[in-house]
Chain A
Amino acid sequence: MSAREGQGGNKGAAVIIIGGGVTGLSAGWWLAREAVDVLVIEAGAAGWGASGRNGGGCSHHHSPLFKEEQRLWPLMDELLGYPTEFRPNRIRIALNQRQFELYRRALDNGAHEGFRSDVLDPAQVRELVPLAGDNVFGGYLHHFGGHANPHRTLQAYAWAMRDRGGRLLQHTRALSFDTRANRVVGVRTSRGVFACDHLVIAAGPATGALASLLGVAVPLMSARAEMIVTEPLPLMSLGGIDGNGLYGRQTLRGNLAYGGGPHEWIDVSDVERGRPQSTPLMTSLSRRLCELLPKAAHARVIRSWAGFIENTPDGRPVIDRTPSVENLTIATLSSVGFGLSPASGRAIRDLVVSGACGFADLSSLQLSRFAGLEPDWAARQGWLPSVVGGE
């Protein structure tokens, strides 16, 4: 592939990636590692969507990318050359029988893929998690997974990609595409036209609208989710602690950052119109964090955040080449993208370069599974925005 001179003096790229989140930037970094000329175009600031607003978990044992996720995370600081704050292993605490049974799935899935977990009794949980309380029913210690700092990882991808010759253009909105036969040949943006040999759309909630400009249907609905952050507390030996309906972690600084609970479906056109706002859901999050870690009940919540995330109808990612457009790759991680990003970026690179993923079976992530989807699938699933009165 070769770089192209676009109209208006813009320097095109062999591969243009729309979307400067973790998925797009990881893909850009993987491509740049192989000296592919890559340009990532981001409508706002890099990582301003869900990539910078998530729980930092790296433990996705249901995914075909799981093994690669696990292989890569311990190497990422070294590979990228910048800190990600990755720490291995994960604990999940159940406060009742129902949770205990539900959470066992991680043990079973991990075992299937060759990873070990320990079942913990309440005393063992309290020993590993000093902030846990007398209400522990049981728990699991997974010798896999872990957590990392989303902001730092995002920036690490961006810097590492740039160090290898990739380019990132922020505050640049993709508006439409130039096509020739069944190929995308250029991206029209708010900063002019950029020519490309291959296009990757990894634009989070905007992925569906952009793909539709090329006649490709990617069914997505977007929603808001929220998290809370406490003041720093003394560091526990293992920060990746979930349970009681919450996901989250103790950061390496000591803050507890936790989310969970209900999401709110929103109209995708509203995503771009303002920043995501937290709501009083933070009180329910606080209640469950008090239950999960009772010895942290005195800790003060010092901020919250909300983010917009997209989901496919079955909640599973799409990482796929499209038959109708020869040189197009679609990637949405369907609300679970941060932890998988080292592996998803590599998978996207493989699809772009050789048309198929060389290390995992991505057949369950194909776009064709939605071919028979009813047009009103979102309504059927109850995935509709609240009806809001006057504003």
Chain B
Amino acid sequence: MKSRANTSVGRDRASVAGKQPPIDESTDLLIIGAGPAGLSAALTASSGGVSVTLVDENPVPLQTMGEDVPLHFGGRMAPTAANRNAVLESILKARPQLAEAIDAGIDVRLGTAAWGLFPQRRTAGWIDGHVAGLADEERAYLLRFRQVIVATGCRDMGIAFDGWQRPGVMGASAAYRLATVYEALDAKSVVLVGSGPEALQIGNALMAAGVRIAAVIEQAEAIAGPAELLAPLLGSGARLFTRYVIEQALGDPQGVTAVRLVPVGSDGSHLSGRVEQIECDTVVLGVAAVPAIELIESAGCAVSFQAARGGHVPTVDGSQRASLPFLYAAGDCAGTWQSKTLSADVAGREGRIAAIAALRALGVGPDGPQERPSSPDPTVRDLARQRLEWVRAMTLQSAATPFVCQCEEVTAADVLELSPPRYLHWQRAAQSGRLGAVDPEGPPNPDVVKRLTRAGMGPCQGRRCREQIAALMALGTGGALADIPVATYRPPVRPLRLSQLAAVTEAGAMSDGWESWFGIPSQWIPFWRLTAPGGGAECCADEPVAGE
């Protein structure tokens, strides 16, 4: 190779160096989610003398809701959900603190989804500071921030049964949001699946919104939530079925018209006789309220399975601070438990604590003693066992082999046997791998299941199937649910149109220096044209570069 006289630092035109996008907008404190925790954080921070930006994705575009993002809406949006102004009015009415926040000078952005948090780090250093990816209905954009409080709430665990793809099968928090925040729930008669505190509380809220609760279904012997929350439902005519699961949702093109219930044994097996049919137009899945950690996990925060906090949650300290020290989790995304579900004060306190800690990190925090966050309730129910029992009784025992992952049409057996997807029509001898045999030295890996079966890889971004898949992996390997690692989340954590993402401004240097691959001229010189042995990238610097 050529010899050079002096050491010099060269420049790699094709690398990201010097190409960071121009980012016009910045804020000191970004708060994501305007529920009880986020609003409380925003109002607390508003007196700190720093800039505060509060974003909330509601009203969610109707098309996105139709994809069951961010919640499992099950197509039960009433026509008014398409009227953005009407929904905005409902939101402001349902959350009067939003008006207070606006009056307090907070930059409140409704209809604004957060799809990624991108902190500068050693393996991604090209953009200075911390950047959030935000999007309204038209375009995505970047916002620089110094501290962020994530208060993204929870979503519902999906659980497969024959007919669960029908319109009208939806998540409990989706039903609650449509009924109370959007005033746009298109449901008259509901069968409620699950009897935990979240499910029962939402059942009561739906009833208050004029929905009839026809039945409450629980696979266990006893209900999982407080009896005083069940009583009003039963008093209004709901029937309680314990040791029952849904065998099938019947329906027509408009959706569910009835469900058939089947009694189950203590091992989840379906028992003959005593099959019940309940007329209803909606099935509300309230088996588990799952902390919505996708932004937090995809940003790179440590998460762990904590049964007392409702599953995988970020590891936080006493000021709600996650392992990335500029990020705080508050409200249900930091953990769900009964007393937190039943009183918004717990989430509100977490929001205040996070806001004070963020203000202190910004150098403007009030001195003095800090509030302490509430601890999760002493564990009264075995969350992992409940989820496994639900999946075993309703999904694994189902003779109809429903798709666990609706987007990619993957059944429970496909997950357990790591079957290649149907579109490959692979007719050869059975796959030689089974769950647990692919990587016997490591923990069961949900990302392996994703890669081989495609479960969780669809447009709903795994929202309806991740917890089921984790439960199936635990059942299939005989391991504990807590030992199944979280399947990784990747930005954008909301589906965004290419044209939306394309709207983000890029640096001129990005356009000028764009190469398909590394832009190393010598990489692509065909071997028969190499005259010298080579050794460095500069050997053919005049050649054009087209990565293959």
A residues bordering B, Cβ < 8 Å?
44-46, 52, 57, 59-64, 81-83, 85, 101-103, 105-106, 109, 112, 151-152, 155, 158-159, 162-163, 169-172, 223-224, 230-232, 242, 245-247, 252-253, 260-267, 270-271, 273-284, 286-290, 296-306, 308, 311, 313-316, 334-336, 361, 364, 366, 368-374, 376-377, 379-389, 391
Q: Which of B423, B520, B535, B545 contacts A369 (CB 8 A)?
A: B535
Sample of 13 A–B contacts (CB below 8 Å): A106-B548, A155-B438, A247-B516, A253-B408, A262-B16, A275-B300, A280-B21, A286-B498, A286-B502, A297-B502, A305-B490, A380-B9, A381-B536
Q: A391 — which chain B residues lie within 8 A by C-beta?
A: 120-122
Q: Let me know if B123 and A311 touch, CB within 8 A.
A: no
Q: Let me know if A62 and B527 touch, CB within 8 A.
A: yes
The reply to whether the CB of B445 lies closer than 8 angstroms to some CB of chain A is yes
The reply to whether the CB of B429 lies closer than 8 angstroms to some CB of chain A is yes
Interface segment, B91-99, B124-132, B156-164, B200-208?
A: B124-132
Q: Which of B15, B499, B545 contacts A382 (CB 8 A)?
A: B15
Q: B518 — which chain A residues lie within 8 A by C-beta?
A: 223, 263, 311, 315, 335
Residue of A whose beta carbon sits closest to that of B493: A303
The reply to whether the CB of B73 lies closer than 8 angstroms to some CB of chain A is no
Q: Let me know if A381 and B12 touch, CB within 8 A.
A: yes
Q: Let me know if B501 and A301 touch, CB within 8 A.
A: yes
Residue of A whose beta carbon sits closest to that of B119: A391
Measured CB to CB, the closest approach of chain A to B317, in angstroms, equals 18
Bound-state Cα–Cα, A382 to B18, Å: 12
Q: Which of B126, B131, B510, B548 contacts A264 (CB 8 A)?
A: B126
Measured CB to CB, the closest approach of chain A to B446, in angstroms, equals 12
The reply to whether the CB of B420 lies closer than 8 angstroms to some CB of chain A is yes
Measured CB to CB, the closest approach of chain B to A165, in angstroms, equals 13
Q: Which of B8, B15, B17, B514 contacts A245 (CB 8 A)?
A: B514
B residues bordering A, Cβ < 8 Å?
1, 3-4, 7-17, 19, 21, 116, 118, 120-128, 131, 133, 140, 142, 300, 408, 420-421, 423-424, 426, 428-429, 431-433, 438-442, 445, 448, 451-452, 454, 457-459, 461, 488, 490-492, 495-504, 506, 510, 513-518, 520, 522-528, 530, 533-539, 544-548
Q: Is the interface of B mostly helix, strand, loop or mixed?
A: loop
Measured CB to CB, the closest approach of chain B to A152, in angstroms, equals 7
Interface contacts beyond A170-B440, A373-B1, A381-B12: sample of 16 additional A-B pairs, CB < 8 Å, sorted by A: A223-B15, A245-B515, A247-B517, A247-B547, A247-B548, A264-B123, A264-B125, A270-B122, A273-B123, A278-B116, A280-B133, A297-B497, A302-B458, A302-B461, A303-B457, A391-B121
Residue of B whose beta carbon sits closest to that of A42: B441
Q: Let me know if A276 and B123 touch, CB within 8 A.
A: yes
Measured CB to CB, the closest approach of chain B to A380, in angstroms, equals 5
Residue of B whose beta carbon sits closest to that of A296: B498
Q: Let me know if A224 and B516 touch, CB within 8 A.
A: no
Q: Let me know if A336 and B461 touch, CB within 8 A.
A: no
Q: Let me know if B530 and A364 touch, CB within 8 A.
A: yes
Measured CB to CB, the closest approach of chain A to B415, in angstroms, equals 15
Known: A45-B442, A61-B526. A102 touches B544 (CB 8 A): yes
Q: B502 — which chain A residues lie within 8 A by C-beta?
A: 283, 286-287, 289-290, 297
Q: A245 — which chain B residues lie within 8 A by C-beta?
A: 514-516
Residue of B whose beta carbon sits closest to that of A191: B441
Per CB-CB distance, the 7 closest pairs between chain A and chain B, nearest first, are A315-B523, A386-B125, A315-B520, A382-B12, A283-B504, A286-B501, A151-B451
Q: Let me know if B520 and A112 touch, CB within 8 A.
A: no
Q: Let me know if A260 and B516 touch, CB within 8 A.
A: yes
Measured CB to CB, the closest approach of chain B to A379, in angstroms, equals 5
Q: A262 — which chain B residues lie within 8 A by C-beta?
A: 14-16, 19, 126, 510, 513-515
Residue of B whose beta carbon sits closest to that of A150: B451
Known: A262-B515, A304-B492, A316-B523. A289 touches B1 (CB 8 A): no
Bound-state Cα–Cα, A286 to B501, Å: 6
Q: Let me know if A366 and B533 touch, CB within 8 A.
A: yes
Q: Which of A109, A112, A382 contacts B10 (CB 8 A)?
A: A382
Bound-state Cα–Cα, A361 to B527, Å: 9
Bound-state Cα–Cα, A159 to B432, Å: 7
Of listed A60, A284, A302, A308, residue having the most chain B CB within 10 A: A302
Q: Let me know if A302 and B459 touch, CB within 8 A.
A: yes
Q: Let me know if A83 and B501 touch, CB within 8 A.
A: no
Q: B514 — which chain A residues lie within 8 A by C-beta?
A: 245, 260-262, 284, 288
Bound-state Cα–Cα, A176 to B10, Å: 34
Q: Let me know if B523 and A314 touch, CB within 8 A.
A: yes
Measured CB to CB, the closest approach of chain B to A117, in angstroms, equals 13
Q: Let me know if B124 and A45 touch, CB within 8 A.
A: no
Q: B421 — which chain A residues lie within 8 A by C-beta?
A: 253
Bound-state Cα–Cα, A81 to B438, Å: 16
Q: Let me know if B7 and A376 touch, CB within 8 A.
A: yes
Residue of B whose beta carbon sits closest to that of A64: B527
Q: B517 — which chain A residues lie within 8 A by C-beta?
A: 247, 260, 335-336
Measured CB to CB, the closest approach of chain A to B145, in angstroms, equals 14
Measured CB to CB, the closest approach of chain B to A347, in angstroms, equals 13
Measured CB to CB, the closest approach of chain B to A278, in angstroms, equals 6
Bound-state Cα–Cα, A242 to B528, Å: 25
Q: Let me know if A300 and B496 touch, CB within 8 A.
A: yes
Q: Let me know if A314 and B522 touch, CB within 8 A.
A: yes
Q: Let me know if A253 and B490 touch, CB within 8 A.
A: no
Bound-state Cα–Cα, A388 to B126, Å: 8
Q: Let me know if A300 and B526 touch, CB within 8 A.
A: no
Known: A270-B122, A364-B534. A380 touches B548 (CB 8 A): no
Q: Let me know if A163 and B442 touch, CB within 8 A.
A: no
Q: B488 — which chain A residues lie within 8 A by C-beta?
A: 275
Known: A265-B12, A380-B10. A303 touches B122 (CB 8 A): no
Q: Which of B451, B454, B526 contacts A109 (CB 8 A)?
A: B526
Q: Let me know if A314 and B495 touch, CB within 8 A.
A: no
Bound-state Cα–Cα, A34 to B433, Å: 23
